[in-house]
A and B are shown apart, each in its own frame.
Chain A
Amino acid sequence: MKGTNIGELEELVLLSILLLQEEAYLLRIQEVLKAEAQRSLSLGSLHNTLSRLEKKDLLQSSLGGATKARGGRRKRFYELTNTGKQTLTHLQEIRTAMWKQVPAFALKLNFI
């Protein structure tokens, strides 16, 4: 089932977009990932991930907002589709359900 399973990076990217709301375009997303998740991604690979998520129908995008720093070129803003939002929520639910079943002692770190 295409689109229902996403990887960890993809999840983080989707979350960043949620976080950024109106400001969600490539360079912002890159900054957020770096600041919040300590993930340093090149523009190309992040751009690639975004377009993949768009193909999976989790994202939609629109062009706009040309600025001087971009030499008058437009940028692509991303926002989550409903499927995207559902996927994230679904993932979150699965996690919470599973966490509940984990016994507390299993998380104790083992010291030698």
Chain B
Amino acid sequence: MPAKRYFSFWLIQWLCKEEWIEEIEGNLLEYKASQADATHWLAQLKYWWQVLSYFRPTFLKLFQQTNFIAMFNFHLKFAFRNLRKHRTTAFINLLGFTVGLSSVIVLYFYTQQEQSYDRFHKDKERIYRAYRTNQDETGGSYDIGLLSPPFSEALKTDFPQSVEATMRIRREEGLVTFGAKSFMENRILLADPNFFTFFSYPLKAGNAETVLEGANNIVISERMAQKYFGTQNPIGKVLTIDQEYDFTVTGIMRDLGQQRTHIAFDMVASLAFYGESEYFENWFPNSITLYLKLKQAKEAVYLTAQFPAFMEKHLGSYFREHNQRNGLKIIPLEEVYFHNAQYEVDNIKQGNQRNVIILGLVALAILFIASFSYVNLSIAKALERGKEVGVRKTLGANRGQVVFQFLVETKVILLIAMALAITCCLLIRPLLNNTFNLDITFNWMSSEALIFLVILFFVLLLAAGLYPALVLGAFKPLTVLRKNYLSQGRSLFLRKGLITVQFCLAIFLVSVTCFTYLQVQYMNDKDLGYTTERTLVIDPSGGAIYDTLNTFRQILAAHPNIKSITGASGEPSGFHDVYGITFKPGTEPIRANTVFTDVHYLKTLDIEVIKGRAFDPSRKTDRESAMMINEQVLKELGVSAEEVIGNVVDVPFREYKRKVIGVFEDYHFMDLRAAVQPQAIIMDEEVRRIIIKIGAGDVTETLVFIEDTYNSFSAGYPMNSTFLEDSLAQQYQTEQQQATLFSLFSGISIVLACLGIFGLVSFSANRRQKEMSIRKVFGASASQILLILSKEYVQLVGLSALLSLPIIWYYLSDWLDDYAYRIDLFSYSPVFILASTLTLIVAFLAIVIKAYKAAVVNPAEIMRYE
């Protein structure tokens, strides 16, 4: 008999009523025999159709009547009755699980999302990003994200057997105009024409192979199509960039939806736009990001080994001339997003893997706290259910059945909590996304998410439900029924352990929250050494204003409420060029952050000169020959100011020499994560930012005046400006968000931990009822009883505080290592005590609420049944 028919018979025998089986099988066999070619798939299909047609009420067994199902229904019924009977406990349990599950689900989707970057590219295993490493004059090494265009051809011709294709991407910003609509866009890419076949960004319109073929073709995202063209069809329309260059829209990219990519962009045009220019021949400057598609992923090892020779071949003479050396490295596309290298110059979106891991751990901690509370509460309740178990067992239930029954109860609670948590997640999503500036989407239907939820459910079921169920299952009916006595056994030690772990985690989270806030506060309050109030920074990119900058400056300077105005290559907290400069003959060069600016820079930012002199507007020679340095340069050189002032030094890449005329005090031109670096201020026209110090008068009026003046110069480019204070506040946004997130989770963890201690106290209060009554009879007061009952738990919380201290200390010092300027843990140790005390007080309240009932009860009530 063929296996298939055997299987169908097995099904029939399993599902159909006894009295029909012989007939049905006979019919099916005869049917099979009547088929012309029974092995053909169509015949098989017809056969199975006949089999399936038998699964109808007339022939099927009545499964509801089997014992197993009946017992299950019975358990369910009991579970709901118990929930109703112990409303408070049920509520607490549901609350705990709902909050715990919601946190875990949200964090799951968040971490999942952070890890899903660039997973949708078809050839993702073969795509690598190239970057340079730099050993400069000072011997330091750092990574540089950018390369120059010739790398592309050179790699292809030198390694034809390994490299299949290359992709150069240049980032641009520009004023994009269509008809009356005109916006600054900063996410424009210029890329090689094979962009859409190299990567797998989906196209809604246009052919991936040819869409970027023309030098003036542009592909835009759906969002941009909506923004510029509304309901019109964008294909064939012309977008003007920077009021000069016309681009024809030839394609539209589909919205990526759930997919994420580290190359964030809105528009792509072809690099061919530059024509046959020298741009593609010059090994300097570096301005593109380069991606390689290898023939096979394993070629990466070979290539990496070949790179030193490759760099030597193409740039060797340059290296020797400039006494520096670059290396070349590649990393897989999927790792780019989390690549932790500190890119000196980079412009791609990067994630913080450490944050993701921390949040994942927090989620795990909350889940543990929630299940521990459940365990403690359930065991506390067990006392009241001893009789139930006793009766069950007397009537013939074995241990396994009792365990199963309690697992069903846990399952019911978990299922309800799961449903509530999912609702909860959906409700708080907009709030979360707004507060933390995230873009979390819940992708419930993905198979991974479903598997995760199922696994989560069963892990929780076992973690929270198994132990109480086993304890209840182990009750001896005789003991329980006769003495109404419940042995505390070894389980008490375990439960106290759980409580301790819970409070350790809670205190840890509270302390970390406090310290994160303190560090952010510290960084925001720290005197940066220059003026940040009423300082406006204008980004004049757009072109037209450069030619008339001097006139612009004069008109503004004439305004009574503008104290000072300067043009610079970068504002504090902004971009600085880094050059290796030899300040004193015979010493090693120093990596100095440079600012190219005018005489007003120091005055505008209110930075003091401490040695030598400042730039002098009246000395014409300062314009061509002066340079100033900060104290840090002297510290690194280990020399006095006098030894450096007056030296004439080479400025690399600039072909000129400058004389050091003065030293200014250190100020924090970078954020406080980094220590103050050496800085050199050089007189040169290179205005990438205009910095304006506004006086004490009417700020709004002054702003309007500045904007009007700007507009009269800028030929249609909108003014792009921020106050320095605002952009500085943005610097520590990550930390701020982390602190908010931590405060949320520490609140949750405290509540959950208190639920656990609540359970344990009610357990011991119940168990020691008689003892307490006797104490009362002999004259103990309510407060003494309260003390006896709560003492050991307060001790537990105290123990947790002690145990958590080293973990907190280790974590915080590790975390603070990222910050050059940071709070001192020792001097802030009272905060830790405060956090512990706070937790202790909350826990104590939870204890007292429960213990109070036991303390004030009339002893006669308890004793009279003896």
A71 touches B26 (CB 8 A): yes
Closest chain-A Cβ to B1's Cβ sits at a distance in Å of 8
Q: Which of B30, B53, B55, B58 contacts A27, CB < 8 Å?
A: B30
The answer, yes or no, to whether B539 is at the interface (CB within 8 Å) is: no
In Å, the complex CA distance between A48 and B28 comes to 15
Chain A residues closer than 8 Å to B54, beta-carbon distance: 43-44, 47
Q: Which of A44, A52, A74 contacts B26, CB < 8 Å?
A: A74
Q: Count the A residues whose beta carbon is within 8 Å of the partner chain — how many?
A: 20
Name the interface residues of A21-60: CB closer than 8 Å to any CB of B. Answer: 26-27, 42-45, 47-48, 51-52
Name the interface residues of A66-85: CB closer than 8 Å to any CB of B. Answer: 66-67, 69-71, 73-76
Say whether chain B's binding surface is mostly helix, strand, loop, or mixed: helix
B27 touches A47 (CB 8 A): yes
Q: Mark B31-55, 1 if CB is under 8 A from A, else 0.
A: 1011000000000000001101111
Chain A residues closer than 8 Å to B58, beta-carbon distance: 47-48, 51-52
Closest chain-B Cβ to A3's Cβ sits at a distance in Å of 18
A43 touches B28 (CB 8 A): yes
Chain B residues closer than 8 Å to A73, beta-carbon distance: 22-23, 25-26, 29
Which single residue of chain B is at the shortest CB-CB distance from A48? B58
The answer, yes or no, to whether B59 is at the interface (CB within 8 Å) is: yes
B50 touches A75 (CB 8 A): no
A69 touching B30 in the complex, CB below 8 Å, given contacts A43-B50, A74-B22, A75-B23: yes
The answer, yes or no, to whether B56 is at the interface (CB within 8 Å) is: yes
Chain A residues closer than 8 Å to B31, beta-carbon distance: 27, 43
Q: Which of A44, A63, A71 contacts B52, CB < 8 Å?
A: A44
Chain A residues closer than 8 Å to B53, beta-carbon distance: 42-45
Chain A residues closer than 8 Å to B26, beta-carbon distance: 66, 70-71, 73-75
In Å, the complex CA distance between A27 and B54 comes to 14
Chain B residues closer than 8 Å to A66, beta-carbon distance: 26
A44 touches B56 (CB 8 A): yes
A74 touches B23 (CB 8 A): yes
In Å, the complex CA distance between A71 and B1 comes to 10
Which single residue of chain A is at the shortest CB-CB distance from B29? A71
Which single residue of chain A is at the shortest CB-CB distance from B34? A27
Closest chain-B Cβ to A12's Cβ sits at a distance in Å of 18
Which single residue of chain B is at the shortest CB-CB distance from A66? B26
In Å, the complex CA distance between A52 and B59 comes to 12
B27 touches A69 (CB 8 A): no
Q: Mark B690-720, 1 if CB is under 8 A from A, else 0.
A: 0000000000000000000000000000000
Closest chain-A Cβ to B682's Cβ sits at a distance in Å of 91
| Among A42, A67, A74: residue with most chain B CB under 10 A | A42
Name the interface residues of B502-535: CB closer than 8 Å to any CB of A. Answer: none
| Among A45, A71, A76: residue with most chain B CB under 10 A | A71
Chain B residues closer than 8 Å to A69, beta-carbon distance: 29-30, 33-34
Say whether chain A's binding surface is mostly helix, strand, loop, or mixed: mixed
In Å, the complex CA distance between A52 and B56 comes to 13
Which single residue of chain A is at the shortest CB-CB distance from B25? A73
Q: Which of B24, B29, B50 contacts A42, CB < 8 Å?
A: B50
In Å, the complex CA distance between A66 and B29 comes to 12
Closest chain-B Cβ to A47's Cβ sits at a distance in Å of 7
Q: Which of A26, A27, A48, A63 contacts B56, CB < 8 Å?
A: A48
Name the interface residues of A53-112: CB closer than 8 Å to any CB of B. Answer: 63, 66-67, 69-71, 73-76
Which single residue of chain B is at the shortest CB-CB distance from A46? B53
In Å, the complex CA distance between A69 and B29 comes to 7
Closest chain-A Cβ to B784's Cβ sits at a distance in Å of 78
Chain B residues closer than 8 Å to A76, beta-carbon distance: 23
Q: Mark B64-85, 1 if CB is under 8 A from A, else 0.
A: 0000000000000000000000
Chain B residues closer than 8 Å to A67, beta-carbon distance: 30
Which single residue of chain B is at the shortest CB-CB distance from A45? B53
B25 touches A71 (CB 8 A): yes
Closest chain-A Cβ to B396's Cβ sits at a distance in Å of 40
In Å, the complex CA distance between A75 and B25 comes to 10
In Å, the complex CA distance between A76 and B20 comes to 10
Which single residue of chain A is at the shortest CB-CB distance from B9? A71
Which single residue of chain B is at the shortest CB-CB distance from A65? B26
In Å, the complex CA distance between A75 and B24 comes to 9
A27 touches B29 (CB 8 A): no
Q: Mark A2-28, 1 if CB is under 8 A from B, else 0.
A: 000000000000000000000000110
Chain B residues closer than 8 Å to A42, beta-carbon distance: 49-50, 53
In Å, the complex CA distance between A31 and B23 comes to 18
A70 touches B50 (CB 8 A): no
Chain A residues closer than 8 Å to B30, beta-carbon distance: 27, 67, 69-70, 75
Closest chain-A Cβ to B695's Cβ sits at a distance in Å of 92
Q: Mark B87-122, 1 if CB is under 8 A from A, else 0.
A: 000000000000000000000000000000000000
Chain A residues closer than 8 Å to B22, beta-carbon distance: 73-74
Name the interface residues of B605-642: CB closer than 8 Å to any CB of A. Answer: none
Closest chain-B Cβ to A8's Cβ sits at a distance in Å of 20
In Å, the complex CA distance between A51 and B30 comes to 19
Chain A residues closer than 8 Å to B23, beta-carbon distance: 26, 47, 63, 73-76
In Å, the complex CA distance between A43 and B27 comes to 8
Which single residue of chain A is at the shortest CB-CB distance from B28? A43
Closest chain-A Cβ to B793's Cβ sits at a distance in Å of 66
Chain A residues closer than 8 Å to B59, beta-carbon distance: 44, 47-48
Chain B residues closer than 8 Å to A51, beta-carbon distance: 58
Q: Which of A45, A52, A75 contacts B27, CB < 8 Å?
A: A75
In Å, the complex CA distance between A51 and B58 comes to 8
Chain A residues closer than 8 Å to B27, beta-carbon distance: 26-27, 43, 47, 70, 75
Closest chain-A Cβ to B372's Cβ sits at a distance in Å of 54
A44 touching B55 in the complex, CB below 8 Å, given contacts A27-B30, A27-B31: yes
In Å, the complex CA distance between A106 and B601 comes to 106
Chain B residues closer than 8 Å to A52, beta-carbon distance: 58
Interface residues of B (CB under 8 A from A): 22-31, 33-34, 49-50, 52-56, 58-59
A-B contact pairs, 20 of them (CB 8 A): A26-B27, A42-B53, A43-B28, A43-B31, A43-B53, A43-B54, A44-B52, A44-B53, A44-B59, A47-B23, A47-B27, A47-B58, A51-B58, A69-B29, A69-B33, A71-B26, A71-B29, A73-B23, A73-B26, A74-B23
Beyond the given pairs A47-B54, A75-B26, 18 more chain A to chain B contacts, judged by CB atoms under 8 angstroms and listed by A's residue number, are: A26-B23, A42-B53, A43-B24, A43-B27, A43-B31, A43-B53, A44-B54, A47-B23, A47-B27, A47-B58, A63-B23, A69-B30, A69-B33, A70-B26, A73-B25, A75-B23, A75-B30, A76-B23
List 4 tightest A-B contacts by C-beta distance, closest first: A44-B53, A73-B26, A42-B53, A70-B26
